[in-house]
């Protein structure tokens, strides 16, 4: 299973002029990657729809239609067409490893979303300055080294020196990087992102983690209900358990509570509201940025609080399923209670989909499958990837 870890990094250079030059190089790479990513996805869209361009002559359409191009030139794949476009625009400006990974990533994303675009359920993706700069595992893996004095990793990426800022490392990123260096975990194509708002640089490490071995029984399942009153309620039963007999279940366990989940979130919302009201009295001098400086402190606090809580809830559920030896977690769909219908405030402050996603990927790490079931006993087919 491939996971992504976010690690803050910095340019490891004491000379101010040289450090500024390295940072400008990184910005140039990002700007070039953004521009070419939009060019690649535009080319893919035009390749699919070139025959609908009525204002082009037929011989022009046939000449540039990608199917004919692939037949005429041997050894040229559909992905290689856009690679040549990226190479023509970026060769000599950006390391070839970057635009090779960029072309592969954008083409794969277009293939996954092509049907959604055609059906009108999504628009053609566009890329902004937040786009990460991709690179292969080979470009990173051979240069990473741990410094016991500084308690950080140092590495070089296409000649640019970097260091990591692990901080308290509550996520265990050091252990994961150590296992990548030792070969226990496989390092995959990763990326670097620049956060203009925070003026920080982040490394997104993609790691292929082997599935943990757990003793699971095919006949045992954990039935989990995501509800308004309690974030998660669950019980252990057989895989063919009839949900209409839930009143006969001896013990139903609870994870979290409505009061515990909402308390911190409502505190953050109230503090943000107070700060917004008081912002008009803040001293100006630099326009909107100076006025709203105090409110920016709350920009991600609520999101981070919710993510932390949901990670904890999902981890407890998956650990309980693994301990019980359950091979399946059944997510039970149930009608919203009257309390929720009459009080939309509760639904606005809940996060069902995010909780379900976190349960799904944590379960996959230990080999537990996720199915869905309805409260009336009708079992729904499990969702398929892609």
Q: What is residue 378's predicted lDDT score, i.e. its pLDDT?
A: 38
Per-residue pLDDT of the chain (386 residues; tens, 9 = 90+): 788 889 999 999 899 999 999 999 999 999 999 999 999 999 888 877 777 777 777 766 565 555 555 555 554 566 778 888 899 898 889 999 999 999 999 999 999 988 888 888 888 889 998 899 999 988 887 788 898 888 899 999 998 999 999 888 778 889 999 888 888 888 889 999 999 888 899 999 999 888 776 677 888 888 888 766 677 888 888 877 777 666 677 788 888 877 777 788 888 888 888 888 888 777 766 677 777 777 877 777 888 888 888 888 889 999 998 888 888 888 876 555 555 455 555 445 556 677 788 888 888 888 888 887 765 543 333 333 33
Q: What is residue 168's predicted lDDT score, i.e. its pLDDT?
A: 82
Nearest one of 254, 257, 235 to 246, comparing CA atoms: 235
DSSP 8-state class, residue 281: G
What does R_g of the chain's alpha carbons equal in angstroms? Answer: 26
Helix axis angle for 352-365 and 301-324, nearest 10°, is 40
Domain coordinates in residue numbering, the chain? 14-133, 136-208, 217-258+307-380
Q: What is residue 380's predicted lDDT score, i.e. its pLDDT?
A: 37
DSSP 220-280: EEEEEE--SSSSEEEEEEETT--GGGGGG-S--EEES-HHHHHHHHHHHHHHHHHHHHHGG
Q: What is residue 28's predicted lDDT score, i.e. its pLDDT?
A: 94
- Residues 19 and 13: beta-carbon distance below 8 Å: yes
Q: Which CATH class is domain 217-258+307-380?
A: alpha beta
Q: What is residue 382's predicted lDDT score, i.e. its pLDDT?
A: 39
**How far apart, in whole angstroms, are the C-alpha atoms of residue 341 and residue 249?**
27
Q: Where are the beta strands (DSSP E) in 14-132?
A: none
Q: What is residue 82's predicted lDDT score, i.e. its pLDDT?
A: 86
What region, left, alpha or beta, does residue 58 occupy, with left being phi > 0 and alpha being psi -120 to 50 degrees? alpha
pTM of the model: 0.74
Q: What is residue 23's predicted lDDT score, i.e. its pLDDT?
A: 93
**How far apart, in whole angstroms, are the C-alpha atoms of residue 235 and residue 225?**
9
């Amino acid at each position: 299973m491939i996971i992504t870890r976010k690690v803050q990094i910095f340019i490891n250079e004491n000379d101010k002029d040289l450090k500024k030059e390295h940072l400008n190089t990184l910005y140039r790479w990002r700007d070039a990657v953004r521009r070419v990513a939009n060019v690649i996805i535009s080319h893919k869209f035009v390749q699919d729809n070139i025959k609908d361009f009525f204002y082009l002559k037929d011989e022009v359409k046939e000449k540039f239609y990608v199917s004919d191009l692939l037949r005429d030139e041997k050894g040229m794949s559909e992905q290689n067409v856009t690679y040549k476009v990226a190479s023509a625009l970026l060769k000599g400006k950006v390391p070839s490893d970057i635009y090779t990974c960029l072309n592969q990533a954008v083409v794969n994303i277009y293939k996954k979303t092509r049907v959604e675009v055609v059906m009108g359920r999504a628009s053609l993706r566009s890329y902004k300055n937040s786009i990460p700069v991709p690179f292969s595992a080979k470009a990173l893996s051979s240069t990473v080294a741990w410094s016991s004095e500084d308690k950080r990793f140092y590495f070089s990426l296409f000649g640019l020196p970097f260091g990591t800022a692990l901080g308290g490392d509550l996520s265990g990123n050091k252990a994961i990087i150590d296992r990548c260096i030792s070969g226990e975990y496989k390092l995959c194509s990763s990326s670097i992102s620049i956060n203009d708002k925070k003026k920080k640089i982040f490394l997104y490490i993609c790691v292929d983690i082997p599935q943990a071995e757990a003793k699971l029984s095919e006949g045992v399942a954990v039935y989990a209900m995501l509800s308004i009153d309690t974030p998660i309620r669950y019980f252990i039963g057989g895989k063919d358990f009839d949900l209409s007999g839930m009143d006969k279940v001896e013990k139903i366990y609870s994870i979290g509570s409505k009061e515990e989940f909402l308390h911190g979130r409502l505190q953050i919302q109230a503090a943000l509201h107070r700060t917004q009201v008081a912002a008009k009295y803040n001293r100006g001098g630099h326009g909107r940025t100076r006025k709203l400086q105090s409110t920016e402190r709350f920009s991600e606090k609520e999101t981070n609080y919710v993510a932390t809580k949901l990670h904890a809830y999902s981890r407890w559920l998956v650990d309980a399923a693994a301990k019980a030896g359950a091979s399946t977690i059944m997510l039970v769909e149930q009608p919203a209670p009257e309390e929720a219908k009459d009080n939309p405030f509760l639904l606005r402050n809940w996060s069902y989909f995010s909780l379900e996603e976190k349960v799904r990927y944590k379960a996959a790490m230990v080999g537990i499958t996720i199915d869905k079931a309805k409260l009336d006993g009708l079992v729904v087919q499990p969702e398929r990837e892609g």
